[in-house]
């Protein structure tokens, strides 16, 4: 087991040295002087446990999805990458070394067995506004639709009527999910955790613990949910509320944010900076269509229409004939004062990721296969909005973390781990006959150079 981890570390230092160097340079100039703590959580069994880290730490973001309960190979690789990058750089800082030949690989191997410690803290940013079967890999698919929750944001989904879909299991057992994972999912459903988010986290952390036991790397890193959990616990004029209100302050602000997101407000006004939820509970950004309405450049209202819409195909369904659907039919409008004086309890909505990422605690981000499995345009939007916010060019009342946009790293698409038989990155971890064989393939991580929009 130790030989496997030692080899993984040695390969990472060779293949991903540019990422290590970039992070070390960033840490050299990092000023972790912000007061206070960030509250994360982990899950042990079915119980959520809060953990706090001081804001003087450097937070490295990985992620898992609420669009499926099972832990995927893609998610696992991102978490292992975060732990390697964190542990190696923390070790080099602690021991004051810069040359890979000076690094004590055995010491790093032992540190990986433990919970994270040091200036760099890896965490999971779990977005709770996604549809519960966004990528067509959720084994609860049929009951999600039948219970009327397919177009709900995951934060609103409840588990009472959810159950394993036998047709999904018959079709995808071994490629997207394993029988053991089905048993785990059913056991956690029977525990009657009413909130879907809590249920998913309980399943994911159980699977992370199993992977920890197999690989000898502590993978149960803390998590942070946003944006809806943050909005639910906030009051009006708190940071996330201010983000939504300030982004709609006037025509010029909206126009600038549109440009930061690569849009032209003069041509179309269909990008909703925050997507109001339907009175019927719908919140799917993919199912929502709408427009910002102005009268002589004064923001008047948001028009919203929800329509039943296909989501995204999984990697096994190459013909895209088995794509999940967000079922929703509704139309309504939200008057400008309800956004300009925003109160989530009265007007629930989901801000765009490029906006709310400005309030994420991250100082660096790990992406999964940008260029193939994700678009660089989104990252341009995220970096551009946060940089403009830090320069006080927009969202003057919103306080972003740090003094520059986070570093961006990318798992090289062609080197991402895939199922040995089916070749998909969205396979569940339980589908892999031997995780150690996958890990032996190593990791290829590279820094992303992102060109900002509207640089001053």
Which positions ≥6 away from 84 have C-beta within 8 Å?
A: 8, 9, 12, 16, 112, 443
Distance CA(160)–CA(2), nearest Å, equals 43
State the CB neighbour count (10 A cutoff) for residue 93: 18
* Predicted model pTM: 0.96
How high is the pLDDT of residue 34?
Answer: 77
Distance CA(59)–CA(292), nearest Å, equals 35
Distance CA(141)–CA(26), nearest Å, equals 43
Among positive and negative, which fits the CA dihedral 97, 101, 106, 112? positive
Which positions ≥6 away from 56 have C-beta within 8 Å?
A: 32, 33, 34
Distance CA(232)–CA(238), nearest Å, equals 11
Read off the pLDDT of each residue in 80-104 and give the average, rounded to a whole number: 91
Which positions ≥6 away from 34 have C-beta within 8 Å?
A: 55, 56, 401, 402
The two structure tokens encoding residue 424: 């998909």
Least confident of 24-33, 245-254, 320-329, 403-412: 24-33
Report the mean per-residue pLDDT for the chain. Answer: 95
Read off the pLDDT of each residue in 161-182 and give the average, rounded to a whole number: 97
Distance CA(294)–CA(104), nearest Å, equals 62
Confidence of residue 268 (pLDDT cuts 50, 70, 90): confident
Distance CA(239)–CA(235), nearest Å, equals 9
Distance CA(240)–CA(238), nearest Å, equals 6
Cis previous bond, 340, omega within 30:
no
Percentage, residues of the chain above pLDDT 90: 88
Q: For residue 35, what are the CA distances in angstroms to 26, 38, 404?
A: 20, 10, 17
Read off the pLDDT of each residue in 306-325 and give the average, rounded to a whole number: 96
Which 3 state secondary structure label does DSSP give 52?
strand
The closest of 172, 138, 170, 171 to 157, measured between CA atoms, is: 138
Distance CA(362)–CA(50), nearest Å, equals 18
Q: What is the pLDDT of residues 10-56, one digit of tens each?
A: 999 999 999 999 999 999 888 777 789 999 999 998 889 999 999 99
Q: For residue 155, what are the CA distances in angstroms to 8, 137, 190, 282?
A: 36, 18, 19, 11
Q: What is the pLDDT of residues 116-168, one digit of tens each?
A: 999 999 999 999 999 999 999 999 999 999 999 999 999 999 999 999 999 99
The closest of 199, 175, 68 to 430, measured between CA atoms, is: 175
How high is the pLDDT of residue 385?
Answer: 96
How high is the pLDDT of residue 1?
Answer: 46
Q: How many CA atoms lie within 13 A of 287 on its CB side?
A: 31
Label each residue of 131-175 as H, E or C: CCCCCCCCCCHHHHHHCCCCCCCHHHCECCCCCCCHHHHHHHECC
- DSSP assigned state of 221: -
Confidence of residue 375 (pLDDT cuts 50, 70, 90): confident
How high is the pLDDT of residue 456?
Answer: 59
Read off the pLDDT of each residue in 99-128 and give the average, rounded to a whole number: 92
Q: Is residue 234 within 8 Å of 344, Cβ to Cβ?
A: yes
Confidence of residue 101 (pLDDT cuts 50, 70, 90): confident
Give me Rg for the CA atoms of the chain. 22
Which 3 state secondary structure label does DSSP give 217?
coil
Domain edges within the chain: 2-130+221-230+355-447, 141-204, 235-351
Label each residue of 97-116 as H, E or C: CCCHHHCCHHHHHHHHCCCC
Q: Is residue 405 within 8 Å of 387, Cβ to Cβ?
A: yes
The closest of 150, 418, 134, 129 to 274, measured between CA atoms, is: 129
Most confident of 95-104, 195-204, 388-397, 445-454: 195-204
The two structure tokens encoding residue 73: 């190979």
How high is the pLDDT of residue 98?
Answer: 80
Confidence of residue 372 (pLDDT cuts 50, 70, 90): confident
How high is the pLDDT of residue 2?
Answer: 65
Percentage, residues of the chain above pLDDT 70: 99
Read off the pLDDT of each residue in 231-243 and give the average, rounded to a whole number: 97
Q: Distance between alpha carbon 87 and the CA centroid of its chain, in Å?
A: 21
How high is the pLDDT of residue 324?
Answer: 97
Distance CA(220)–CA(41), nearest Å, equals 10
Q: Is the pLDDT of residue 429 over 90?
A: yes
Read off the pLDDT of each residue in 214-233 and give the average, rounded to a whole number: 98
């Amino acid at each position: 087991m130790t030989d496997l981890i030692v080899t993984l570390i040695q390969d990472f230092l060779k293949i991903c040295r540019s990422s290590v160097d970039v992070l070390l340079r960033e840490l050299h100039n990092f000023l972790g002087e912000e007061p206070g703590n960030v509250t994360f959580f982990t899950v042990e069994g079915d119980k959520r446990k809060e953990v706090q880290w001081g804001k003087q730490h450097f937070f490295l973001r990985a992620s898992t999805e609420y669009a499926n309960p099972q832990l995927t190979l893609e998610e696992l690789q991102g978490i292992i990458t975060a732990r390697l990058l964190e542990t190696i750089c923390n070790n080099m800082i602690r021991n004051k070394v810069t040359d890979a030949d000076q690094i004590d690989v055995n010491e790093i191997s032992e540190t990986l067995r433990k919970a994270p410690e040091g200036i760099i803290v890896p965490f999971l940013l779990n977005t709770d506004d996604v549809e519960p079967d966004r990528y067509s890999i959720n084994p609860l698919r049929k009951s999600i639709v039948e219970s009327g929750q397919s177009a709900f944001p995951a934060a609103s989904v409840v588990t009472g009527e959810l159950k394993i879909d036998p047709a999904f299991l018959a079709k995808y057992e071994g490629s997207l999910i394993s029988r053991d994972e089905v048993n785990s999912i059913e056991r956690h459903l029977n525990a009657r955790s009413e909130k879907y988010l809590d249920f998913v986290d309980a399943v994911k952390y159980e699977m992370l613990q199993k992977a920890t036991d197999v690989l000898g790397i502590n993978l149960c890193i803390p998590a942070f949910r946003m944006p809806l959990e943050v909005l639910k616990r906030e009051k009006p004029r708190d940071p996330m509320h201010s983000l939504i209100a300030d982004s709609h302050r006037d025509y010029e602000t909206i126009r600038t944010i549109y440009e930061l997101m690569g849009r032209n407000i003069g041509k179309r006004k269909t990008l909703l900076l925050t997507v109001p939820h339907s009175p019927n509970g719908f919140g799917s950004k993919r199912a929502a269509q709408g427009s910002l309405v102005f009268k002589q450049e004064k923001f008047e209202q948001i028009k919203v229409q929800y329509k039943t819409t296909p989501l995204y195909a999984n990697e096994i369904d190459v013909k895209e004939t088995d794509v999940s659907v967000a079922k929703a039919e509704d139309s309504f409008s939200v008057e400008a004062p309800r956004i300009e004086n925003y109160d989530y309890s009265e007007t629930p909505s989901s801000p765009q990721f490029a906006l709310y990422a400005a309030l994420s605690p991250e100082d660096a981000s790990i992406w999964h296969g940008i260029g193939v499995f994700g678009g660089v345009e989104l990252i341009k939007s995220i970096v551009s909005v946060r940089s403009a916010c830090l320069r006080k060019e927009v969202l003057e009342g919103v306080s972003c973390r740090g003094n520059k946009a986070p570093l961006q790293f990318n798992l090289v698409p062609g080197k991402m781990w895939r199922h040995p038989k089916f070749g998909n990155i969205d396979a569940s971890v339980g589908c892999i006959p031997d995780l150690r064989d996958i890990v032996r393939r190593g990791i290829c991580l590279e820094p992303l150079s992102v060109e900002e929009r509207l640089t001053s």
